[in-house]
Amino acid sequence: MPTAPLASGRTADVYALAGGRVLRRYRSGGDVRAEAALMRHLHAAGYPVPRVHHADGPDLVLERVAGPTLVEAFVAGDVTLPAMARLLVDLHGRLHALPALRSADPAVRLLHLDLHTENVLLTLAGPVVIDWATAAEGPPALDRAMTALIIAEAAVDPSLPLRAAAGELLSAYVAEAGPLAPVAEAVSRRSGLGPLETARLPEAAALVEATARAGGCR
Ligand SMILES: Nc1ncnc2c1ncn2[C@@H]1O[C@H](COP(=O)(O)OP(=O)(O)O)[C@@H](O)[C@H]1O
Ligand SMILES: [Mg+2]
């Protein structure tokens, strides 16, 4: 096992392995089987996700995706806010065009529910979506509301240097995304976060609603 992670997110540490692979390990245990099965399904359906090599307990061995996260590419000046918004909208649209696995109701689709700028990696061959832990089946409008809320959380975080950019991204995303589910539904799914994040949810939800009322940036 390598000692220093290549990257760490909210729930997992990611270690480089030989052969162009990474080990993604949940810090507090868990079972990645359902996540791995969905990623394999999406890969077979042509949706851009890392190839899954192995899944066991809290460990996923994935193809190593070469490229920055969307937010890193923005900080480096390689992508604009309107382009980021369009990319998130496009990735949602492609996902929601696929049939659900369990439900036969055509209104119920595969949802990522955590599609934000740190869960998209940009490669020369195009964007790749990672971090499918929260994926579920449901109405696409809920997936869009989740993304809007997550961006809004960044926009109301006073400790975040990128908060103004997040506000602009929210406007651009909401203008392009299509109808959002009631924000309260997204809030209830985000309330298992830490106390600081949970405390910011009402302000973030109000910002999503105000931005949607204003019609995004159009
Ligand atoms: N397949 C991969 N190839 C390269 N880097 C990855 C890969 N999967 C994850 N990462 C890196 O690890 C970080 C955390 O992974 P992620 O799956 O988003 O876990 P978390 O649930 O902790 O957010 C990502 O932001 C990215 O920088
Ligand atoms: Mg992540």
- In this prediction the pTM is 0.96
Q: Is 38 helix (H, G, I), strand (E, B) or coil?
A: helix
The average pLDDT across 126-143 equals: 97
Q: 3-state DSSP call for residue 6?
A: coil
What 3-state class would DSSP assign to 4? coil
Cα of 67 to ligand 1 centre, how many Å?
11
Closest ligand 1 atom, residue 12 Cα: 22
212 CB under 6 A from ligand 1? no
Percent over 70 (pLDDT), the chain: 97
Pocket probe for ligand 1: among 70, 123, 130, the residue whose CB has the most ligand atoms within 8 Å is 130
Nearest to 136 by CA among 180, 65, 186: 186
Tell me the mean pLDDT in the region 173-198: 92
With a CB cutoff of 8 Å and minimum separation 6, the contacts of 107 are: 139
Q: Over the stretch 186-215, which tens digit does the pLDDT of each residue have?
A: 999 998 888 888 999 999 999 999 999 998
> What DSSP string describes 57-88?
TTEEEEEPP-S-BHHHHHHTTSS-HHHHHHHH
- What's the confidence (pLDDT) of residue 196? 84
Among 150, 204, 156, residue whose Cα is nearest residue 177: 150
* Residue ranges of domains in the chain: 7-63, 70-214
Please tell me the least confidently modeled range out of 9-13, 156-160, 161-165. 9-13
Best of 6, 13, 14, 17 to mutate for ligand 1, by most ligand atoms within 8 A of CB?
A: 14
Tens of pLDDT, residues 7-64: 998 899 999 999 999 999 999 998 999 999 999 999 999 999 999 999 999 999 999 9
Closest ligand to the CA of 121 = 1
User: Quick check: CB of 48 below 6 Å from ligand 1?
Assistant: no
pLDDT for residue 154 is more than 50: yes
What is the model's pLDDT at position 61?
98
Strands, E assignment, the chain: 7-8, 12-17, 21-26, 52-56, 59-63, 109-111, 120-123, 126-129, 136-138
Q: In this structure, which residues have their CB less than 5 angstroms from ion ligand 2?
A: 9, 119, 131
**For the domain 7-63, what is the CATH superfamily, name and number?**
Phosphorylase Kinase; domain 1 (3.30.200.20)
Average pLDDT, the chain: 95
Q: Is there an atom of ligand 1 within 6 Å of 64 CB? A: yes
pLDDT tens digits, 65-79: 999 999 999 999 999
127 C-alpha to center of ligand 1: Å?
13
Evaluate if residue 218 carries a pLDDT over 50.
no
Nearest CA to ligand 1 atom 1: 64
pLDDT digits 0-9 by tens, 92-111: 999 999 999 999 999 999 99
CB-ligand 1 contact for 71 (6 Å cutoff): no
